[in-house]
Protein backbone atom coordinates (compact mmCIF):
# COMPACT_ATOMS: atom_id res chain seq x y z
CA UNK A 1 0.00 0.00 0.00
CA UNK A 2 1.07 3.54 -0.51
CA UNK A 3 -0.53 6.86 0.13
CA UNK A 4 1.13 10.14 -0.80
CA UNK A 5 0.55 13.16 1.41
CA UNK A 6 1.65 16.68 0.58
CA UNK A 7 2.36 18.61 3.76
CA UNK A 8 1.35 22.07 2.67
CA UNK A 9 0.73 25.62 3.82
CA UNK A 10 0.06 28.76 1.88
CA UNK A 11 2.75 30.74 3.66
CA UNK A 12 6.21 30.10 5.03
CA UNK A 13 7.04 30.13 8.72
CA UNK A 14 4.30 27.77 9.84
CA UNK A 15 6.82 25.05 10.76
CA UNK A 16 5.94 22.90 7.79
CA UNK A 17 9.27 21.09 7.55
CA UNK A 18 9.43 20.45 11.29
CA UNK A 19 5.90 19.06 10.98
CA UNK A 20 6.70 16.88 7.97
CA UNK A 21 9.65 15.28 9.71
CA UNK A 22 7.78 14.88 13.01
CA UNK A 23 4.76 13.30 11.33
CA UNK A 24 7.09 11.06 9.36
CA UNK A 25 8.86 9.85 12.48
CA UNK A 26 5.60 9.29 14.34
CA UNK A 27 4.10 7.40 11.39
CA UNK A 28 7.24 5.29 11.02
CA UNK A 29 6.24 3.41 14.16
CA UNK A 30 3.43 1.83 12.14
CA UNK A 31 4.43 2.29 8.52
CA UNK A 32 7.38 2.33 6.19
CA UNK A 33 7.71 6.07 5.63
CA UNK A 34 9.53 8.07 2.96
CA UNK A 35 9.92 11.82 3.36
CA UNK A 36 10.74 13.91 0.29
CA UNK A 37 11.83 17.54 0.21
CA UNK A 38 9.61 18.75 -2.60
CA UNK A 39 10.38 22.39 -1.85
CA UNK A 40 13.10 22.39 -4.47
CA UNK A 41 13.64 26.14 -4.45
CA UNK A 42 14.05 26.57 -0.70
CA UNK A 43 15.18 23.20 0.55
CA UNK A 44 15.64 22.79 4.26
CA UNK A 45 14.58 19.26 5.08
CA UNK A 46 18.25 18.28 5.01
CA UNK A 47 18.98 20.60 7.94
CA UNK A 48 16.17 19.04 9.96
CA UNK A 49 17.29 15.48 9.32
CA UNK A 50 21.03 15.80 9.88
CA UNK A 51 21.76 15.54 6.18
CA UNK A 52 23.40 18.89 5.49
CA UNK A 53 26.41 17.07 4.06
CA UNK A 54 24.39 14.77 1.80
CA UNK A 55 26.31 14.40 -1.44
CA UNK A 56 23.51 13.39 -3.76
CA UNK A 57 20.14 15.08 -3.45
CA UNK A 58 16.82 15.36 -5.23
CA UNK A 59 18.30 18.17 -7.33
CA UNK A 60 20.69 15.65 -8.92
CA UNK A 61 17.82 13.26 -9.55
CA UNK A 62 15.66 15.99 -11.08
CA UNK A 63 18.60 17.04 -13.26
CA UNK A 64 18.82 13.43 -14.45
CA UNK A 65 22.34 13.12 -13.01
CA UNK A 66 21.55 10.39 -10.49
CA UNK A 67 18.99 7.64 -9.88
CA UNK A 68 16.49 8.17 -7.04
CA UNK A 69 18.16 5.46 -4.96
CA UNK A 70 21.35 7.53 -4.78
CA UNK A 71 19.47 10.36 -3.10
CA UNK A 72 17.70 8.29 -0.43
CA UNK A 73 19.08 8.12 3.09
CA UNK A 74 17.93 6.09 6.06
CA UNK A 75 17.58 8.44 8.98
CA UNK A 76 15.63 8.19 12.23
CA UNK A 77 13.64 5.19 11.06
CA UNK A 78 12.54 6.82 7.82
CA UNK A 79 13.76 7.04 4.26
CA UNK A 80 14.67 10.65 3.60
CA UNK A 81 15.11 12.24 0.16
CA UNK A 82 16.67 15.64 0.80
CA UNK A 83 16.95 18.44 -1.70
CA UNK A 84 20.07 20.52 -2.25
CA UNK A 85 20.31 24.22 -1.53
CA UNK A 86 22.37 25.51 -4.44
CA UNK A 87 20.86 27.82 -7.01
CA UNK A 88 22.59 25.90 -9.79
CA UNK A 89 20.95 22.72 -8.56
CA UNK A 90 17.56 24.41 -8.60
CA UNK A 91 18.15 25.81 -12.08
CA UNK A 92 19.13 22.45 -13.54
CA UNK A 93 16.30 20.53 -11.89
CA UNK A 94 13.29 19.63 -13.99
CA UNK A 95 10.33 19.71 -11.61
CA UNK A 96 8.31 17.46 -13.90
CA UNK A 97 10.64 14.60 -13.03
CA UNK A 98 9.20 14.72 -9.51
CA UNK A 99 6.32 12.69 -10.88
CA UNK A 100 8.70 9.90 -11.90
CA UNK A 101 10.56 10.14 -8.57
CA UNK A 102 7.36 9.72 -6.59
CA UNK A 103 6.32 6.81 -8.80
CA UNK A 104 9.63 5.06 -8.19
CA UNK A 105 9.53 5.65 -4.43
CA UNK A 106 5.90 4.51 -4.27
CA UNK A 107 6.91 0.99 -5.18
CA UNK A 108 8.82 0.43 -1.96
CA UNK A 109 7.07 2.28 0.85
CA UNK A 110 3.75 2.67 2.71
CA UNK A 111 3.57 6.41 3.17
CA UNK A 112 5.21 9.24 1.22
CA UNK A 113 5.26 12.71 2.75
CA UNK A 114 6.08 15.55 0.38
CA UNK A 115 7.33 18.67 2.13
CA UNK A 116 5.75 21.19 -0.24
CA UNK A 117 6.70 24.77 -1.12
CA UNK A 118 4.81 27.37 0.93
CA UNK A 119 3.34 29.06 -2.12
CA UNK A 120 0.85 28.63 -4.94
CA UNK A 121 2.40 31.02 -7.40
CA UNK A 122 4.09 28.66 -9.80
CA UNK A 123 3.72 25.29 -11.42
CA UNK A 124 6.65 23.95 -9.41
CA UNK A 125 5.10 25.12 -6.16
CA UNK A 126 1.74 23.49 -6.86
CA UNK A 127 3.03 20.24 -8.36
CA UNK A 128 3.44 18.34 -5.05
CA UNK A 129 -0.17 19.13 -4.15
CA UNK A 130 -1.26 17.84 -7.57
CA UNK A 131 0.78 14.66 -7.19
CA UNK A 132 -0.44 13.81 -3.70
CA UNK A 133 -3.47 11.71 -2.81
CA UNK A 134 -4.27 14.03 0.07
CA UNK A 135 -2.83 17.10 1.74
CA UNK A 136 -2.12 17.81 5.38
CA UNK A 137 -2.59 21.55 5.87
CA UNK A 138 -0.27 23.15 8.40
CA UNK A 139 -1.83 26.25 9.92
CA UNK A 140 -1.06 28.77 12.58
CA UNK A 141 -4.15 30.11 14.30
CA UNK A 142 -3.85 33.46 12.50
CA UNK A 143 -6.03 35.03 9.84
CA UNK A 144 -3.40 35.02 7.08
CA UNK A 145 -2.37 31.43 7.76
CA UNK A 146 -5.95 30.16 7.79
CA UNK A 147 -6.83 32.18 4.74
CA UNK A 148 -3.80 30.79 2.86
CA UNK A 149 -4.62 27.29 4.10
CA UNK A 150 -8.08 27.64 2.57
CA UNK A 151 -6.52 28.57 -0.74
CA UNK A 152 -4.25 25.53 -0.63
CA UNK A 153 -7.27 23.34 0.04
CA UNK A 154 -9.21 24.80 -2.88
CA UNK A 155 -6.25 24.29 -5.23
CA UNK A 156 -5.89 20.72 -3.97
CA UNK A 157 -9.54 19.78 -4.35
CA UNK A 158 -9.74 21.47 -7.75
CA UNK A 159 -6.92 19.15 -8.83
CA UNK A 160 -8.70 16.15 -7.29
CA UNK A 161 -6.43 15.85 -4.26
CA UNK A 162 -8.20 15.21 -0.96
CA UNK A 163 -7.72 16.75 2.47
CA UNK A 164 -6.43 14.43 5.19
CA UNK A 165 -6.57 16.98 7.97
CA UNK A 166 -5.38 20.17 9.59
CA UNK A 167 -2.41 20.56 11.83
CA UNK A 168 -2.36 23.69 13.96
CA UNK A 169 1.21 24.59 14.77
CA UNK A 170 3.06 27.09 16.99
CA UNK A 171 -0.06 27.48 19.10
CA UNK A 172 0.29 29.81 22.06
CA UNK A 173 -1.53 29.27 25.32
CA UNK A 174 -3.45 32.51 25.02
CA UNK A 175 -4.98 31.39 21.73
CA UNK A 176 -8.32 29.74 22.34
CA UNK A 177 -7.38 26.94 19.98
CA UNK A 178 -10.34 24.67 20.64
CA UNK A 179 -12.82 27.27 19.50
CA UNK A 180 -10.64 28.39 16.61
CA UNK A 181 -10.12 24.79 15.47
CA UNK A 182 -13.81 24.02 15.67
CA UNK A 183 -14.70 27.07 13.60
CA UNK A 184 -11.89 26.45 11.13
CA UNK A 185 -13.01 22.86 10.53
CA UNK A 186 -16.32 24.10 9.17
CA UNK A 187 -14.52 25.34 6.08
CA UNK A 188 -12.14 22.46 5.53
CA UNK A 189 -12.76 18.99 4.16
CA UNK A 190 -10.63 17.30 6.82
CA UNK A 191 -10.55 17.18 10.64
CA UNK A 192 -8.06 18.80 12.99
CA UNK A 193 -5.35 16.19 13.55
CA UNK A 194 -3.73 18.00 16.47
CA UNK A 195 -2.74 21.39 17.84
CA UNK A 196 0.99 21.58 18.40
CA UNK A 197 2.10 24.08 21.05
CA UNK A 198 4.78 26.63 20.23
CA UNK A 199 7.95 25.01 21.42
CA UNK A 200 11.46 26.09 22.25
CA UNK A 201 12.37 22.40 21.85
CA UNK A 202 11.45 22.58 18.16
CA UNK A 203 13.87 25.47 17.66
CA UNK A 204 16.58 23.62 19.54
CA UNK A 205 16.00 20.52 17.45
CA UNK A 206 16.30 22.50 14.24
CA UNK A 207 19.57 24.06 15.43
CA UNK A 208 20.86 20.62 16.40
CA UNK A 209 19.93 19.24 12.97
CA UNK A 210 17.72 16.56 14.49
CA UNK A 211 14.01 15.86 14.18
CA UNK A 212 11.96 17.08 17.14
CA UNK A 213 10.85 13.54 17.99
CA UNK A 214 14.48 12.44 18.27
CA UNK A 215 15.66 15.56 20.08
CA UNK A 216 12.88 15.90 22.65
CA UNK A 217 10.55 12.90 22.32
CA UNK A 218 8.81 13.62 25.62
CA UNK A 219 7.95 17.28 25.07
CA UNK A 220 4.36 18.45 24.59
CA UNK A 221 4.93 19.32 20.93
CA UNK A 222 6.28 15.82 20.17
CA UNK A 223 3.28 14.28 21.90
CA UNK A 224 0.96 16.41 19.77
CA UNK A 225 2.67 15.24 16.58
CA UNK A 226 2.22 11.63 17.68
CA UNK A 227 -1.48 12.31 18.25
CA UNK A 228 -1.67 13.82 14.77
CA UNK A 229 -0.05 10.73 13.26
CA UNK A 230 -2.47 8.48 15.16
CA UNK A 231 -5.40 10.52 13.84
CA UNK A 232 -4.21 10.09 10.27
CA UNK A 233 -5.75 7.02 8.68
CA UNK A 234 -3.53 5.88 5.87
CA UNK A 235 -5.59 4.50 3.02
CA UNK A 236 -4.80 1.34 1.20
CA UNK A 237 -3.65 1.63 -2.37
CA UNK A 238 -1.47 -0.58 -4.45
CA UNK A 239 1.99 0.59 -5.46
CA UNK A 240 1.19 -0.33 -9.05
CA UNK A 241 -1.83 1.96 -9.12
CA UNK A 242 0.12 4.77 -7.58
CA UNK A 243 3.04 4.41 -9.94
CA UNK A 244 0.72 4.45 -12.95
CA UNK A 245 -1.13 7.40 -11.61
CA UNK A 246 2.01 9.44 -11.09
CA UNK A 247 3.44 8.53 -14.46
CA UNK A 248 0.32 9.65 -16.26
CA UNK A 249 -1.03 13.16 -16.17
CA UNK A 250 -2.76 13.33 -12.83
CA UNK A 251 -5.13 16.15 -13.42
CA UNK A 252 -8.77 15.33 -14.05
CA UNK A 253 -10.02 15.86 -17.55
CA UNK A 254 -12.71 18.34 -16.75
CA UNK A 255 -9.95 20.89 -16.19
CA UNK B 1 -14.36 56.98 14.34
CA UNK B 2 -13.52 60.57 13.46
CA UNK B 3 -9.93 61.45 12.73
CA UNK B 4 -8.52 64.78 11.60
CA UNK B 5 -6.88 64.48 8.19
CA UNK B 6 -3.19 63.78 8.61
CA UNK B 7 -0.15 64.57 6.53
CA UNK B 8 0.31 61.93 3.85
CA UNK B 9 3.61 60.15 4.40
CA UNK B 10 3.33 57.26 2.02
CA UNK B 11 0.86 55.76 -0.40
CA UNK B 12 1.49 52.47 -2.15
CA UNK B 13 0.23 49.04 -3.02
CA UNK B 14 1.48 46.16 -0.87
CA UNK B 15 0.76 42.45 -0.94
CA UNK B 16 1.46 41.85 2.73
CA UNK B 17 0.00 43.90 5.60
CA UNK B 18 3.11 42.81 7.49
CA UNK B 19 5.27 45.21 5.46
CA UNK B 20 3.13 48.15 6.47
CA UNK B 21 3.11 47.26 10.17
CA UNK B 22 6.88 46.71 10.14
CA UNK B 23 7.43 49.99 8.30
CA UNK B 24 5.26 51.94 10.74
CA UNK B 25 7.08 50.41 13.70
CA UNK B 26 10.48 51.24 12.18
CA UNK B 27 9.45 54.84 11.56
CA UNK B 28 7.80 55.13 14.98
CA UNK B 29 4.87 56.73 13.18
CA UNK B 30 2.16 58.51 15.13
CA UNK B 31 -0.89 58.73 12.91
CA UNK B 32 -2.92 56.21 11.01
CA UNK B 33 -2.93 53.82 8.08
CA UNK B 34 -5.82 53.32 5.67
CA UNK B 35 -6.02 49.87 4.08
CA UNK B 36 -8.05 49.42 0.95
CA UNK B 37 -8.19 45.98 -0.64
CA UNK B 38 -7.65 45.87 -4.38
CA UNK B 39 -9.86 42.82 -4.45
CA UNK B 40 -13.21 44.52 -4.81
CA UNK B 41 -14.88 41.13 -5.16
CA UNK B 42 -14.41 40.56 -1.46
CA UNK B 43 -15.27 43.99 -0.17
CA UNK B 44 -18.14 46.36 0.09
CA UNK B 45 -17.53 49.44 -1.98
CA UNK B 46 -17.06 51.38 1.24
CA UNK B 47 -14.78 48.88 2.83
CA UNK B 48 -11.67 50.48 4.23
CA UNK B 49 -9.77 49.54 7.31
CA UNK B 50 -8.12 52.11 9.53
CA UNK B 51 -5.47 51.39 12.13
CA UNK B 52 -4.10 54.18 14.30
CA UNK B 53 -0.61 54.20 15.78
CA UNK B 54 1.22 55.92 18.62
CA UNK B 55 4.99 55.87 18.11
CA UNK B 56 4.69 52.97 15.68
CA UNK B 57 2.49 50.85 17.97
CA UNK B 58 -1.11 50.08 16.90
CA UNK B 59 -3.82 51.58 19.14
CA UNK B 60 -7.21 51.39 17.41
CA UNK B 61 -8.69 49.42 14.54
CA UNK B 62 -11.86 50.34 12.71
CA UNK B 63 -13.53 49.19 9.52
CA UNK B 64 -15.68 51.64 7.58
CA UNK B 65 -17.58 48.96 5.65
CA UNK B 66 -18.77 46.95 8.63
CA UNK B 67 -18.64 49.76 11.21
CA UNK B 68 -16.89 47.42 13.61
CA UNK B 69 -13.99 48.34 15.82
CA UNK B 70 -11.30 46.58 17.84
CA UNK B 71 -10.32 42.95 17.11
CA UNK B 72 -13.35 42.28 14.84
CA UNK B 73 -12.22 45.16 12.61
CA UNK B 74 -8.92 43.34 12.10
CA UNK B 75 -10.90 40.37 10.84
CA UNK B 76 -12.84 42.62 8.46
CA UNK B 77 -9.56 43.97 7.22
CA UNK B 78 -8.08 40.57 6.62
CA UNK B 79 -8.98 40.00 3.01
CA UNK B 80 -6.40 38.71 0.55
CA UNK B 81 -4.07 41.41 -0.78
CA UNK B 82 -2.91 43.38 -2.56
CA UNK B 83 -3.93 46.41 -0.55
CA UNK B 84 -3.58 50.03 -1.31
CA UNK B 85 -2.19 51.57 1.85
CA UNK B 86 -1.86 55.24 2.77
CA UNK B 87 0.07 56.31 5.84
CA UNK B 88 -0.75 59.61 7.50
CA UNK B 89 1.13 61.37 10.28
CA UNK B 90 -0.78 63.23 12.99
CA UNK B 91 0.22 64.94 16.19
CA UNK B 92 -0.41 62.84 19.27
CA UNK B 93 -2.73 65.56 20.57
CA UNK B 94 -4.94 65.25 17.47
CA UNK B 95 -5.28 61.51 17.95
CA UNK B 96 -6.01 61.74 21.63
CA UNK B 97 -9.81 62.25 21.40
CA UNK B 98 -10.16 59.24 19.09
CA UNK B 99 -7.91 57.16 21.29
CA UNK B 100 -10.35 57.53 24.16
CA UNK B 101 -12.71 55.08 22.39
CA UNK B 102 -11.93 51.96 24.38
CA UNK B 103 -14.19 49.75 22.29
CA UNK B 104 -12.01 50.34 19.24
CA UNK B 105 -8.76 49.43 20.94
CA UNK B 106 -6.61 46.49 19.97
CA UNK B 107 -3.72 45.02 21.98
CA UNK B 108 -0.40 46.34 20.56
CA UNK B 109 0.81 43.04 19.11
CA UNK B 110 -2.54 41.84 17.78
CA UNK B 111 -2.43 43.40 14.29
CA UNK B 112 1.01 41.88 13.64
CA UNK B 113 -0.04 38.54 15.02
CA UNK B 114 -3.52 38.21 13.58
CA UNK B 115 -3.36 40.34 10.45
CA UNK B 116 0.22 39.66 9.40
CA UNK B 117 0.67 36.26 11.07
CA UNK B 118 4.07 37.31 12.33
CA UNK B 119 4.69 36.51 16.02
CA UNK B 120 8.22 37.97 15.89
CA UNK B 121 6.92 41.32 14.66
CA UNK B 122 4.18 41.14 17.29
CA UNK B 123 6.83 40.63 19.98
CA UNK B 124 8.88 43.61 18.82
CA UNK B 125 5.72 45.72 18.66
CA UNK B 126 4.82 44.75 22.23
CA UNK B 127 8.34 45.60 23.37
CA UNK B 128 7.94 49.05 21.80
CA UNK B 129 4.60 49.62 23.55
CA UNK B 130 4.42 51.72 26.73
CA UNK B 131 4.34 49.67 29.94
CA UNK B 132 0.64 50.25 30.66
CA UNK B 133 -0.31 48.93 27.24
CA UNK B 134 1.93 45.88 27.59
CA UNK B 135 0.00 44.99 30.73
CA UNK B 136 -3.22 45.48 28.83
CA UNK B 137 -2.13 42.81 26.37
CA UNK B 138 -1.95 40.20 29.05
CA UNK B 139 -5.35 41.16 30.33
CA UNK B 140 -6.58 41.01 26.73
CA UNK B 141 -5.14 37.52 26.41
CA UNK B 142 -6.87 36.19 29.47
CA UNK B 143 -10.14 37.84 28.54
CA UNK B 144 -9.81 36.09 25.24
CA UNK B 145 -9.39 32.76 26.96
CA UNK B 146 -12.41 33.36 29.11
CA UNK B 147 -14.44 33.80 25.98
CA UNK B 148 -15.51 37.32 26.89
CA UNK B 149 -13.94 38.88 23.88
CA UNK B 150 -14.22 37.58 20.39
CA UNK B 151 -10.77 37.31 18.98
CA UNK B 152 -9.97 38.63 15.54
CA UNK B 153 -9.45 35.10 14.24
CA UNK B 154 -12.83 33.97 15.50
CA UNK B 155 -14.53 37.02 14.04
CA UNK B 156 -12.88 36.18 10.73
CA UNK B 157 -14.09 32.58 10.96
CA UNK B 158 -17.61 33.74 11.73
CA UNK B 159 -17.76 35.64 8.46
CA UNK B 160 -18.97 32.75 6.32
CA UNK B 161 -19.64 34.93 3.34
CA UNK B 162 -16.13 36.27 3.20
CA UNK B 163 -14.58 32.85 3.62
CA UNK B 164 -16.74 31.38 0.89
CA UNK B 165 -15.64 34.26 -1.33
CA UNK B 166 -11.98 33.49 -0.61
CA UNK B 167 -12.60 29.83 -1.48
CA UNK B 168 -14.48 30.68 -4.68
CA UNK B 169 -11.72 32.98 -5.76
CA UNK B 170 -9.06 30.33 -5.07
CA UNK B 171 -10.99 27.71 -7.05
CA UNK B 172 -11.37 30.05 -10.01
CA UNK B 173 -7.66 30.82 -9.85
CA UNK B 174 -6.75 27.13 -9.61
CA UNK B 175 -8.86 26.30 -12.68
CA UNK B 176 -7.41 29.15 -14.67
CA UNK B 177 -3.86 28.17 -13.77
CA UNK B 178 -4.41 24.50 -14.54
CA UNK B 179 -4.77 25.48 -18.17
CA UNK B 180 -1.85 27.88 -18.02
CA UNK B 181 0.43 25.32 -16.33
CA UNK B 182 -0.79 22.45 -18.48
CA UNK B 183 -1.70 20.18 -15.61
First and final CA of chain B: distance in angstroms? Answer: 49
In a domain, A81, yes or no: yes
Task: Name every residue whose Cβ is closer than 8 Å to that of residue B30 and which is 6 or more positions away in sequence.
Answer: B53, B54, B55, B56, B89, B90, B91, B92, B95
**pLDDT tens sequence across A174-213:** 778 999 999 999 999 999 999 999 999 999 999 899 999 9
Q: Tell whether A126 is within 8 A of chain B (Cβ).
A: yes
> Please, which pLDDT band fits residue B181 given cuts at 50, 70 and 90?
confident
CA A204 to chain centre: 21
Contact list, B75 vs chain A (CB under 8 Å): 143
Q: For residue B75, count other CB atoms closer than 10 A to its CB.
A: 28
Contact list, B148 vs chain A (CB under 8 Å): none
Across the interface, do A144 and B141 touch by the CB < 8 Å criterion?
Answer: no
Q: Which of A138, A143, A154 to mutate against chain B (most B CBs within 10 Å)?
A: A143
Phi, psi dihedral angles at B35 (to 5 degrees): -105, 130
**pLDDT tens sequence across B90-104:** 999 999 989 988 889
pLDDT, position A151: 95
As a residue count, chain A comes to 255
DSSP codes of every residue in A135-203? EEEEE-SSHHHHHHHHHHHHHHHHTT-EEEEEEEEEE-TTS-HHHHHHHHHTTSSS-EEEEEEP-HHHH
Can you give the residue range of the structural domain that contains A119? 3-247
Q: How far apart are CA B105 and CA A124, in angstroms?
A: 43
In a domain, B46, yes or no: yes
Please, are residues B60 and B99 in contact by the beta-carbon 8 Å criterion?
A: yes
**pLDDT tens sequence across A37-84:** 999 888 899 999 999 999 999 999 999 999 999 999 999 999 999 999
> Please, which pLDDT band fits residue A237 given cuts at 50, 70 and 90?
low
Across the interface, do A187 and B157 touch by the CB < 8 Å criterion?
Answer: yes
Per the prediction, chain A carries an average pLDDT of: 90
Q: C-alpha dihedral over B28, B34, B39, B43, to 10 degrees?
A: 130
Which H/E stretch holds residue A208? Answer: helix A200-208
Q: How many domains, chain B?
A: 1
In a domain, A143, yes or no: yes
Q: Which of A142, A161, A245 to mutate against chain B (most B CBs within 10 Å)?
A: A142
Angle at B13 between CA B9 and CA B19, to 5 degrees: 75
**Residue among A13, A143, A154 minimizing CB distance to B171:** A154
Task: Name every residue whose Cβ is closer than 8 Å to that of residue A23 and which is 6 or more positions away in sequence.
Answer: A7, A113, A136, A167, A225, A228, A229, A232
Can you tell me the ipTM of this complex?
0.89
Across the interface, do A143 and B142 touch by the CB < 8 Å criterion?
Answer: no
In a domain, A237, yes or no: yes
In a domain, A253, yes or no: no
In a domain, A255, yes or no: no
Name which of A41, A42, A22, A25 is nearest A33 in CA terms.
A25
pLDDT, position B55: 95
Q: How far apart are CA A175 and CA A143, in angstroms?
A: 12
> Please, which pLDDT band fits residue B168 given cuts at 50, 70 and 90?
very high
Q: Please, what's the b/e burial string for B129-146 (b: 16 or more CB within 10 A of its CB; e: otherwise)?
A: beeebbeebeebbeebee
Q: How far apart are CA A186 and CA A146, in angstroms?
A: 12
Across the interface, do B157 and A146 touch by the CB < 8 Å criterion?
Answer: yes
Q: What percent of chain B has pLDDT over 90?
A: 42
Q: How many domains, chain A?
A: 1
Q: How far apart are CA B63 and CA B51, in angstroms?
A: 9
The chain B residues in contact with chain A (CB within 8 A) are 17, 74-75, 78, 80, 113-119, 141-142, 144-145, 147, 151-154, 156-158, 163, 166-167, 170-171, 173-175, 177-179, 181, 183
3-state DSSP call for residue B86? strand
Examine the pLDDT at B144 and tell me if it is beyond 50: no
Q: A190 vs chain B: nearest CA distance in angstroms?
A: 15
Per mean pLDDT, which of A142-151, A220-229, B62-71 is the most reliable? Answer: A220-229
In a domain, B1, yes or no: no
Q: B28 vs chain A: nearest CA distance in angstroms?
A: 24
First and final CA of chain A: distance in angstroms? Answer: 28
**How are strands ordered across the β-sheet holding A134-139?**
A73-75, A78-81, A33-37, A111-115, A3-8, A134-139, A162-171, A192-197
Name which of A22, A5, A3, A4 is nearest A169 in CA terms.
A22
Using the Cα atoms of residue B67, residue B69, residue B72 and residue B77 in order, give the sign of their dihedral: positive
In a domain, A254, yes or no: no
Phi, psi dihedral angles at A211 (to 5 degrees): -65, 150
Can you give the residue range of the structural domain that contains B152? 7-180
> Please, which pLDDT band fits residue B148 given cuts at 50, 70 and 90?
very low
Name which of A142, A84, A128, A115 is nearest A211 in CA terms.
A115
**pLDDT tens sequence across B51-68:** 999 999 999 999 988 888
Residue A5: strand pairing partners: A113, A134
> Please, which pLDDT band fits residue A241 given cuts at 50, 70 and 90?
low
**CATH number, position A108:** 3.40.50.300
Residue with more model confidence, B3 or B152: B3
Distances (CA, A) of A132 to A83, B176, B179: 18, 20, 19
Across the interface, do A158 and B157 touch by the CB < 8 Å criterion?
Answer: no
In a domain, B37, yes or no: yes
pLDDT, position A183: 95
Amino acid sequence: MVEVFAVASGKGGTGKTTSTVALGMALSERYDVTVVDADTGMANLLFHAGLSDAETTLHDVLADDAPVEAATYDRFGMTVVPCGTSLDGFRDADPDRLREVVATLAAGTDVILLDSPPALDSRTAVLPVVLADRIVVVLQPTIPAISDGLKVQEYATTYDTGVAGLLFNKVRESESIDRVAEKTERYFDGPTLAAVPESERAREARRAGRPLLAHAPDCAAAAAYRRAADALTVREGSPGDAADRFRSAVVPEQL
Amino acid sequence: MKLPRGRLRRSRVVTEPRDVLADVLDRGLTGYAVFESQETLLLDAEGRGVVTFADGVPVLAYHTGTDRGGPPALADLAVPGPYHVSLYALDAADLEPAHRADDLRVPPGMPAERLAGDPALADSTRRAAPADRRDAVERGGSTDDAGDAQSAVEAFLDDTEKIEAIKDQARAEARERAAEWEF
